[in-house]
């Protein structure tokens, strides 16, 4: 019932809630006391020139309308759509139209009751007051056209009719002027009503659109959170077998002699790395889009980072006979940056990988770093086939791969550039593309120069790291996934580590006292790997620990960082895992040299 449309005052059709709002708005704007004050003043002024009885009767009518208007204001000023039914609304509409008719007749009769033939001053005062009343009444446009027409026309007709008797010589021009003025006010009030209704309808439409937008935003956020939650839950289960595959294939490659079998094993290793690469792309995009990624600002050498990124792609470039070069501003050679090195590395890595992937043999890929007045400009240029102008925006969307001759050689699932754009946005930069079909492409982005800083001097290691440092070391492995644990044990034993494995951290005895700890994050019981590793490191001060995580939770990363713990994400690259364990290996526990020193 409350949503049905109302034909307000038999002229206009409104939704129920809008008709109620207009009625309440009009009730709040009724000022019966002002009309009463003016009526009293006019009566006092007319008492000496007009019939006192008639003046008193006219003033009594003004008092009655004052009480009627006050009651209407009190009754309907706080009207609510939910508590007002259709019949009550119709009754209120009838009351206001009838009230307008009475008010119009009362003030219209002032010409006949308060004017006196020959009293020019008195008569002009009545005319001026009446015209002022008409101007004030025309502002009451909330109630609609019906009350304006009924009240306005009745008042004008009653007021103009006696003018021929009161102004026998001037009525022929005075009546049309007053009538034209009153009619103009009536038309203006009707137009004001149209504008008011249009504004309210536009407001309702705006609120409806905003509400729809809010609902759609909440729905999108919910879907995004559900997607992130699904990926967070599923990624752990998906990472486990992939992590085991990479470790097992790497261990197998170390044990397989040269020959045809070694080639097959190497292909398995390369396939595992490719799968891990694509999987990490998917997880990275999920974290960046969901807003769960938190910047980890640290100080690093820009020159070193660029050289490291290029070094990882050197083999692919040489294999395809592509000239891969770095051109860096001399002023940046000794300059450090304070930002998220891993995120910048990922962006550059994807851009270079993209350039090499879509460049033909004999081509060239150039990486440039320039120091500008207000920013640092980094760019990756290639001489590939280029990208058509109408498709340049599409390539930054997830899972999009353009259908042109160079794209036929592409691999992956089309996430690289999506990750680059999100990563650079988080770093405070903006990625732009300059490309022309047949003339190559340039991906350029700038970082604020304010992140430039001095690179701290780090003392070089006395001796290079070697896997021989792991020989005979005791490794405590805490992993509840049997497949991953088996792969880790086989892999670790290849490097001479003595492994003690426990699936339940609660069963690890205090007597283990290992050199190294390798623990998963998600473990049986109420406590996770971070809490257990903190406890074990406090129990064994000389032990070093490393966490492996199959989750994509920013909270987990922050907790590990807050405790000063190293954390690698699954599937971890076997070479990276090896180098990390070597760098963590504590010095030899040489009891005899200790005693000699004492």
For the stretch 26-57, pLDDT in tens is 888 888 999 999 999 999 988 888 889 999 99
**How much is the pLDDT for 458?**
52
Could you tell me if residue 198 is inside a domain?
A: no
Could you tell me if residue 220 is inside a domain?
A: no
Please check whether residues 394 and 273 belong to one and the same domain: no
For the stretch 191-233, pLDDT in tens is 888 888 888 889 989 999 999 999 998 998 888 777 766 766 6
Could you tell me if residue 516 is inside a domain?
A: yes
Please check whether residues 285 and 304 belong to one and the same domain: no
Please check whether residues 482 and 423 belong to one and the same domain: no
Please check whether residues 163 and 15 belong to one and the same domain: yes
Please check whether residues 429 and 283 belong to one and the same domain: no
For the stretch 481-491, pLDDT in tens is 888 888 889 88
Count of structural domains within the chain:
3
Residue 6, pLDDT > 60, answer no
Map tokens 């939910």 to a residue.
Answer: 82
User: Can you list the positions of beta strands (E) in 53-121?
Assistant: none
State how far the Cα of 253 lies from the Cα of 576, in Å rounded to an integer: 16
Predicted confidence band at 317 (pLDDT cuts at 50, 70, 90)? confident
For residue 94, report the phi and psi dihedrals to the nearest 5 degrees.
-65, -40
At a CB cut-off of 8 Å and minimum separation 6, what does 522 contact?
A: 236, 480, 528, 529, 550, 551
Q: Give the residue from 169, 193, 209 where a domain finishes.
A: 169
Please check whether residues 443 and 355 belong to one and the same domain: yes
- Give the mean model confidence (pLDDT) for residues 392-414: 57
**How much is the pLDDT for 383?**
85
Domain holding 443: CATH number?
3.30.565.10
**How much is the pLDDT for 56?**
93
* Percent of the chain whose pLDDT exceeds 90: 21
CB 19 within 8 A of CB 89: yes
* Cis, peptide link before residue 412, omega less than 30° from 0: no
Could you tell me if residue 201 is inside a domain?
A: no
Please check whether residues 373 and 448 belong to one and the same domain: yes
Predicted confidence band at 537 (pLDDT cuts at 50, 70, 90)? very high
Please check whether residues 108 and 47 belong to one and the same domain: yes
Residue 261, pLDDT > 80, answer no
Could you tell me if residue 420 is inside a domain?
A: yes
At a CB cut-off of 8 Å and minimum separation 6, what does 108 contact?
A: 130, 154, 155, 156, 157, 158, 159
Please check whether residues 17 and 162 belong to one and the same domain: yes
Q: Give the residue from 169, 200, 221 where a domain finishes.
A: 169
Within 109-169, residue ranges assigned H as helices are 110-114, 120-137, 145-160, 163-166
**The model's pTM:** 0.49
Could you tell me if residue 177 is inside a domain?
A: no
| Share in percent of the chain as helix, strand, coil (round to 5) | 60, 15, 25
Please check whether residues 270 and 362 belong to one and the same domain: no
Could you tell me if residue 262 is inside a domain?
A: yes
Predicted confidence band at 78 (pLDDT cuts at 50, 70, 90)? confident
**DSSP state letter for 162:** T
Please check whether residues 447 and 476 belong to one and the same domain: no
Q: Give the residue from 169, 190, 212 where a domain finishes.
A: 169
Higher pLDDT, 321 or 289: 321
Please check whether residues 447 and 305 belong to one and the same domain: yes
Residue 598, pLDDT > 60, answer no
For residue 281, report the phi and psi dihedrals to the nearest 5 degrees.
-60, -45
Tell me which residue range forms the domain holding 589. Answer: 231-293+465-598
Could you tell me if residue 182 is inside a domain?
A: no
Domain holding 471: CATH number?
3.40.50.2300
């Amino acid at each position: 019932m409350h949503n049905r449309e109302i034909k307000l005052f038999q002229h206009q059709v409104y939704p129920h809630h809008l008709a109620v709002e207009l009625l309440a708005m009009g009730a709040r704007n009724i000022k019966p006391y002002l009309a009463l004050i003016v009526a009293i003043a006019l009566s006092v002024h007319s008492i000496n020139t007009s019939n006192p009885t008639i003046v008193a009767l006219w003033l009594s009518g003004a008092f009655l309308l004052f009480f009627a208007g006050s009651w209407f204001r009190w009754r309907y000023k706080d009207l609510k759509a939910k508590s007002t039914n259709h019949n009550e609304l119709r009754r209120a509409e009838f009351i206001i139209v009838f009230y307008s008719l009475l008010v119009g007749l009362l003030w219209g009769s002032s010409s006949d009751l308060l004017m006196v033939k020959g009293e020019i001053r008195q008569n002009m005062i009545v005319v001026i007051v009446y015209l002022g009343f008409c101007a004030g009444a025309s502002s009451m446009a909330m109630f609609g056209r019906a009350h304006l027409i009924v009240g306005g026309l009745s008042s004008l007709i009653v007021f103009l009719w006696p003018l021929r008797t009161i102004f026998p010589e001037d009525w022929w021009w005075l009546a049309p002027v007053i009538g034209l003025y009153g009619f103009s006010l009536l038309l203006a009030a009707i137009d004001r009503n149209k504008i008011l209704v249009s504004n309210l309808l536009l407001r309702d439409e705006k609120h409806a659109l905003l509400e729809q937008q809010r609902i759609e935003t909440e729905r999108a956020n919910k879907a995004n959170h559900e997607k992130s939650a699904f990926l967070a839950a599923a990624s752990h289960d998906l990472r486990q077998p992939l992590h085991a595959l990479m470790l097992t294939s790497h261990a197998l490659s170390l044990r397989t002699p040269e020959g045809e079998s070694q080639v097959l094993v190497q292909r398995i290793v390369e396939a595992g790395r490719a799968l891990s690469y694509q999987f990490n792309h998917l997880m990275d995009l999920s974290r960046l889009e969901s807003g769960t990624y938190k910047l980890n600002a640290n100080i690093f050498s820009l020159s070193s980072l660029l050289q490291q990124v290029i070094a990882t792609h050197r083999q692919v470039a040489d294999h395809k006979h592509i000239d891969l070069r770095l051109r860096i501003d001399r002023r940046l050679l000794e300059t450090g940056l304070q930002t998220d090195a891993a995120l910048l590395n990922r962006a550059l890595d994807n851009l270079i990988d993209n350039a090499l992937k879509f460049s033909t043999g004999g081509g060239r890929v150039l990486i440039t770093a320039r120091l500008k007045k207000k920013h640092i400009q980094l760019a990756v240029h290639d001489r590939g086939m280029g990208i058509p102008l109408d498709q340049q925006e599409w390539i930054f969307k997830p899972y999009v791969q353009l259908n042109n001759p160079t794209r036929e050689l592409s691999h992956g699932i089309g996430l690289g550039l999506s990750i680059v754009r999100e990563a650079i946005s988080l770093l405070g930069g903006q990625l732009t593309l300059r490309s022309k079909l047949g003339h190559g492409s340039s991906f350029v982005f700038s970082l604020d120069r304010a992140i430039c800083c001095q690179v701290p001097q780090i003392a070089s290691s006395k001796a290079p790291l070697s896997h021989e440092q792991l020989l005979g070391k005791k490794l405590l492995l805490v992993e509840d996934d049997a497949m991953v644990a088996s792969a880790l044990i086989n892999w670790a034993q290849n490097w001479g580590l003595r492994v003690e494995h426990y699936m339940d951290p609660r069963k690890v005895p205090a007597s283990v006292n290992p050199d190294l700890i390798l623990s998963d994050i998600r473990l049986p019981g109420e406590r996770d790997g971070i809490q257990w590793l903190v406890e074990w490191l406090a129990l064994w001060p000389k032990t070093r620990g490393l966490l492996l995580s199959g989750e994509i939770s920013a909270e987990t990363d922050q907790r590990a960082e807050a405790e000063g713990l190293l954390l690698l994400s699954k599937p971890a690259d076997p070479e990276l895992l090896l180098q990390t364990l070597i760098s963590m290996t504590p010095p030899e526990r040489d009891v005899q040299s200790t005693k000699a020193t004492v």
